Chain A
Amino acid sequence: AQSVTQPDIHITVSEGASLELRCNYSYGATPYLFWYVQSPGQGLQLLLKYFSGDTLVQGIKGFEAEFKRSQSSFNLRKPSVHWSDAAEYFCAVFPQAGTALIFGKGTTLSVSS
């Protein structure tokens, strides 16, 4: 079945440490890929997106993501996490020829001092 999976429900990272949030998808053709961030009580902010080309994409707030076709993954990374990065992170996919953006269940990031 077509799906987008975020295996980690909750991750805690020390401030200044590196971060990697995982996202895997299961679609016949590589979908278009997105990462969104949501602070408590707030809306959805687009961090970055991948359509084609260079498999390492840069986003806002120092985030990057790498598309790996062989692993059907689009993991989000940040080299040094700041306390303000604590939020909910959603991976989302838009299937080619699709009509709707489909979200993963999200990963809650906590940042410890």
Chain B
Amino acid sequence: EPEVTQTPSHQVTQMGQEVILRCVPISNHLYFYWYRQILGQKVEFLVSFYNNEISEKSEIFDDQFSVERPDGSNFTLKIRSTKLEDSAMYFCASKGQGLNTGELFFGEGSRLTVL
């Protein structure tokens, strides 16, 4: 069964460093998402991406964050100058075309720890 894969599964970084989280969405999907879950809290929407541009972003997704689809398979989230409060699980998701029902397929997540 096709699945969304994310790398790395866990990354530890020093405050102020740049981090890139990678995602390989399901191959024929066209909508891509990043979500964040701070430990013990709810899953928060960060950004959605379609047709090589951001279609929606939350207030969390400020200038510190950027997304890119550098090639036909990867979808990346870059966090510049990480802060302690960026420590969280980051989930990538993708969605196919067709009826826009919001059925997203999630990856297993990338845990980011900022020290």
Question: Which one of A13-21, A59-67, A70-78, A99-107 is at the B interface?
Answer: A99-107
- Residues A99 and B56 in contact in the complex (CB < 8 Å), given A34-B102, A42-B108: yes
Interface string of A90-102 (1 = CB under 8 A from B): 1011101111111
The contact size tier of chain A is 20 to 34
Is A100 in contact with B48, judged by CB distance below 8 angstroms?
yes
Q: Are A43 and B102 in contact (CB under 8 A)?
A: no
Asked if A43 contacts B106 (CB within 8 A), the reply is yes
Q: Which residues of A contact B (CB under 8 A)?
A: 31-32, 34, 42-44, 46, 49, 51, 90, 92-94, 96-106
Residues of B in contact with A, size category: 20 to 34
26 A-B contacts, Cβ less than 8 Å apart?
A32-B103, A42-B108, A43-B91, A43-B106, A43-B107, A44-B106, A46-B103, A51-B99, A51-B101, A90-B42, A93-B102, A94-B100, A94-B101, A94-B103, A96-B100, A97-B100, A98-B100, A98-B102, A99-B48, A100-B48, A101-B33, A101-B45, A101-B102, A103-B35, A103-B42, A103-B44
B43 at the interface (CB under 8 A from A): yes
CA distance A105 to B44 in the complex (A): 9
Chain A residues with CB under 8 Å of B56's CB are 99-100
Complex alpha-carbon distance, A34 and B101, angstroms: 10
Q: Which residues of A contact B33 (CB under 8 A)?
A: 100-101
Q: Measured between alpha carbons, how far is A106 from B42 in the docked complex, in Å? A: 6
Question: CA separation between A80 and B70, bound complex, in Å?
Answer: 48
A residues in contact with B102, CB < 8 Å = 31-32, 34, 93-94, 98, 101
Given A43-B106, A99-B55, A103-B35, 18 new contacts (CB under 8 A): A43-B107, A44-B106, A49-B103, A94-B102, A96-B100, A99-B48, A99-B50, A100-B45, A100-B56, A100-B58, A101-B93, A103-B42, A103-B43, A103-B45, A104-B42, A105-B41, A106-B42, A106-B43
Residue in B42, B55, B100, B101 whose beta carbon sits within 8 Å of that of A105 in the complex: B42
> In whole angstroms, how far apart are the Cα atoms of A31 and B55 in the complex?
19
B25 CB-CB contact with A under 8 Å: no
Complex Cα spacing A81 to B93, Å: 29
Mask, B42-67, CB within 8 Å of A = 1, is 11110010100001101000000000
